[in-house]
Structures are given as structure tokens and as C-alpha cells.
Amino acid sequence: MKKYNFFAGPAILPQSVLQKASEAALSFGDMGLSILEISHRSKEFTAVLEEARALAKELLGFGDDYETLFLQGGASSQFFMIPMNLLNEGETAAYVDTGNWSAKAINEVENFGNLKKLASSKDENYTYIPKGYDIPSDAKYLHLTSNNTIYGTQHHSFPDTDVPLVCDMSSDIFSRPIPTDKFGLIYAGAQKNMGPAGTTLVIVRKDVLGKVQRKIPTMLDYNTHIGKASAFNTPPVFPIYVSLLTMRWVKEMGGVGQMELHNEEKGSLLYDEIDRNPLFVGTARKEDRSLMNVPFVMAPGYEALETEFLERCTNAGCMGVKGYRTVGGFRASIYNAMTKEGISKLVELMQAFENEKG
């Protein structure tokens, strides 16, 4: 039976990427050695790292005034590295709270400077993206989380401001074009839409760095890694290589513009069924719905059927549909590599369940 991976992360990868990665795990190129055991200083891996850094910028459209880094420690390490590198004591950074991960980023700021929380959607269990807030002109940066995996909301536009945007794009990186000129820094853990867990992409505009007076630990200074082209210490070789394969796949598929069309088609197919089917209800506001993570619950009066529907999904090969504990119900994560076939399979299950139980 074919399996469809709806897990939120570590998440689905294209089948062609998995095939090439498995081949490289046995023998990489003409080396006759596994990529898992080659030197990170070898010319073969240096070429991988250079291509990965360049391709990330190319796909998103960042110019030469930006640097690309592949780091370790996950996006969670960026929560403190960002204010450590960008914010002096006494200066203010602005944050918008749209879910668990933005809240964790907010918790780190006051270790390094002043926090100004501009808006939050916590009052409605993070089911919407706040809008219309004022951005202080003296803020060093404005931090956003572009997509919220747990609550299924997504920024479909970004604020117009002269303040540099800093954005956690862990779960929707490479899923759509972005207005690159607005961003001072973006970051993304690989494991949701780019590659396996183990590396974190950071793209940073060079002119936002080097302005803090504090002594930054060597490994936590972005300029350390810029100076050594992401190879100051041993980089996570295999996650970077698989991320490169995924970026090549995105380019072969037509780039992030084509990815956006692909994701909009998939999202519409699933959301239309949620809205039509009397057994299910979406949890996020319609105008803020994510094209990466789709949470939904049983409709009022049908709550007792939740466990049975989850079992139907698992038995039919739709894996990872169980919702996060703070939302409940179900969550279908439909990242770039999820096929329309996978969405159609889930929709068929929902329709069959309606015919039987509705």
C-alpha cells in the first residue's frame, strides 16, 4: 500500500531526492566513498556547499549584498543568535506573536536588548495573523514567523516598513516568491520543507551585521561563519547535501513561482473539501490559512468520531494526520513535495467518511 506523508516535520521529501540521497549514502559521485564519510574539506563537498549557498539565494532572488549560511542548532538557536548579533543593550527589537515558535523567539530578546511586542493572536488560540499594528521607526528589526505549523496560519503579505524584517521561514521556505528587499535576515530549519533535520539556512544582509558592541562567542557570530563560508567547523554534510538536492528539484520544477501555483492548487483542493463537508471544520481564519499546514477538527456533534477517522487515515496510508495537542483534531502538512495525488487520497477518505457517518 502506498503511504502519504502528512507529518509536520521531519517532513516529506521528493522521491527523486530520496533516491539520489540513498545512492550518495553508498557512493558519492566518482569517489567510491559514502557522502557520510568524506572529508568536509574535500573539493567534492566544498563544491556541494558552494552550490547550496548560491542556489538558495538564486531561488529566492537575493542579491550579492546577502550572505548564505548553513548552520547547526536548529531554528531555535536563531532565536537568541539574532538579537545577540543585531541588538545592542538599550536598543529595541519588535516582534509579532503568532504561535509557539514566535513566542519562544520572544522569550530570548530581553537577554540582549529591549522587546516591543507589537501584536499577538494568542487571544484566539493563534487562529489568525495580526494586522494593522504600528511599527516603531526606532526598532532595529521586526521579527515575524511566516508560517505557523501548529495553528495553520501564514503571512500572505509582509508589512511595508523601513525597519528590516527578520523572518522565521522554517515551514514555508521555497514555497513561494518573497519580497527580498524587505528582509534583513531570514532563517529556516531544514526539516520541514528543505531537507532532513540537522542544518539551518540563514540568509543575512551584510549591512545589518557588525554593529553591536558586545563580545559575541565565536561560534555564535554570523561573521565567523561568513568568513569561513559556512565551514568554520565541521558542517552537517549529509543534511546540506540533501537540502541541495531538494533545491535542485525546486529549480527543475520551475522555481518558487511554480511551487506557489502547485501549493495553491493543493491547498484549494483540501480546503474546499473541509468547507463543503459537514463533518469537518477548519480552525484558522480563511484569509490567513496556510498552504503548508492545514488543521481541521470534527464539526460540532461529531467529535466522538475523531479517533475513528484517524484510524481510517492510517489504515489507508495517510500518515501523520493527527493534530497538535493545543488544536486537536487533524493536521495535514502539505509541503512542496506533497503531491496532488496525496491530497486527493485524503479528500476521498473525508468524502467516504461523510457518506457513512453524515
Q: Which residues are the active-site residues?
A: 101, 168, 192
Question: What interhelical angle do 74-86 and 100-109 show, nearest 10?
Answer: 40
Counts of helices then strands in the chain (DSSP H, E): 9, 14
328-331 contacts at long range (C-beta below 8 A, 24 or more positions apart): 328/297, 329/283, 329/295, 329/296, 329/297, 329/298, 330/280, 330/295, 330/296, 330/297, 330/306, 331/6, 331/8, 331/150, 331/152, 331/293, 331/294, 331/295, 331/296
Closest CA to 295 of 208, 171, 157: 171
Q: Are 156 and 288 in contact (CB under 8 A)?
A: yes
Residues contacting residue 177 through CB under 8 Å, at least 6 positions apart = 60, 61, 256, 257, 260
CA angle 257, 157, 277 (to 5 degrees): 80
The count of other CB atoms within 10 Å of the CB of residue 148 is 28
Q: How many angstroms separate the CA atoms of 227 and 211, rounded?
A: 17
